[in-house]
Amino acid sequence: MSAYSVTEPSKVSKWVAGLLVTLYAIITLLPLVWIISTSFKTGPDSISYPPKVFFEPTVEGYVNLFTTRTRPAVSELDTLPPPDGLMEEIARRQGTIITGPSRFAERFLNSVIIGFGSTALSIILGTLAAYAFSRFKVPLKDDLLFFILSTRMMPPIAVAIPIYLMYRELGLSDTHVGMILLYTAVNISLAVWLLKGFIDEIPREYEEAALIDGYTRFQAFRKVVLPQAATGIASTAIFCLIFAWNEYAFAVLLTSGNAQTAPPFIPTIIGVGGQDWPAVAAGATLFLLPVMIFTILLRKHLLRGITFGAVRK
């Protein structure tokens, strides 16, 4: 029962709106285009001025991202046997030989484990907490909710030193579990507040009907509330993942080897003889993909909106 009336916008206003949206899209997409195009440039192309808009694409950046290389003397290079495989061939073209894999794949995997792990944990805990706050009489409910939100009122990095010391004592420094817990702690406030909003919107009658239909409260939660909260859960998950995925400060401080994520690793990619910008750009480009895919997969839920149609208001 929507109560708004729509007047067909005039042609001019449509044009103006279209123009503004296009402009906005160009401004926001430009850095992305820059990064992605740089990832396909050669080293010299990437730093040429004026920047090259048209260039011959190469995957040098990607090869360099995944390998470590040395630059032997030219005379030595000539004496080597012919290159073995495409990667080697691309390395040779730059006058280098591959000495081994880089740590990018490892760091990327760490990001996936920590990012998705903390997102899953935030969502599970957040949904349960939000449901309890939404449906039950919790003593000091408003104060608790405020307290949960208040953890967001300072920059997380403000507590970096205590956390660093705590983690060192607890043996959580540079571990996957430690990072998952930390990101979950930061995300949980967002998750509880967002999800409580979504669950508040789901009429209680559904659960009451399910309780009478022979289900326990938890079964009703699982079969009736969760499917209807899917939209909210999906959008909350995207926000949580984006934070955990992009987090840099804690990652720099608390991880170094074992559990280091991609964000602190990418800027440290140093080529043979100077900063390897195409490799850095390639790392950034690949780093974008999981969040992009995750968002596209969940887009259906974001767009669908919540259906309230089956309860008479």
Residues engaged in binding another protein (CB under 8 A):
203, 205-206, 208-216, 219, 224, 227-228, 307-313
User: By C-beta, is 11 or 313 nearer to another protein?
Assistant: 313
**Residues 295, 284: Cα–Cα separation, whole Å:** 17
Cβ 304 to another protein shortest distance, Å? 11
Considering the complex, state which of residue 195 and residue 280 has its C-beta at the smaller distance from another protein.
195
- Among the listed residues 152, 148, 179, the one whose alpha carbon sits nearest the alpha carbon of residue 163: 179
What is the DSSP annotation of 209-276?
Answer: HHHHTT--HHHHIIIIIHHHHHHHHHHHHHHHHHHHHH--HHHHHH-SSTT--HHHHGGG-B-SSSB-
Q: Which lies closer to another protein via its Cβ, residue 14 or residue 304?
A: 304
Q: How far is the CB of 198 from another protein (least distance, A)?
A: 14
CB of 210 to another protein, least distance (A): 7
Closest to another protein by CB, 219 or 295: 219
Question: How many helices (H) and strands (E) would you count in the chain?
Answer: 15, 2
CB of 197 to another protein, least distance (A): 18
- Name the minimum Å distance from CB 307 to another protein: 5
CB 100 within 8 A of CB 303: no
* Residue with Cβ nearer another protein (257 or 305): 305
In whole angstroms, how close is the CB of 240 to another protein at the nearest point?
23
The crossing angle, in degrees rounded to 10, of helices 104-135 and 226-246 is 140
Closest CA to 202 of 303, 129, 134, 127: 134
Contact 86, 68 (CB under 8 A): no
For another protein, the closer of residues 70 and 216 by Cβ is: 216
Write down the least CB distance from residue 139 to another protein, Å: 17
- At a CB cut-off of 8 Å and minimum separation 6, what does 8 contact? none
Give whichever of 93 and 300 is closer to another protein, judged by the CB atom. Answer: 300
CA angle (257 as vertex; 255, 259 as ends), nearest 5 = 55
Give the span between the Cα atoms of 104 and 268, in whole angstroms: 10
Q: How far is the CB of 215 from another protein (least distance, A)?
A: 5
C-alpha to C-alpha distance for 257 and 263, rounded to whole angstroms = 13
CA distance 226 to 231: 9
Closest to another protein by CB, 143 vs 213, is 213
Contact 104, 264 (CB under 8 A): no
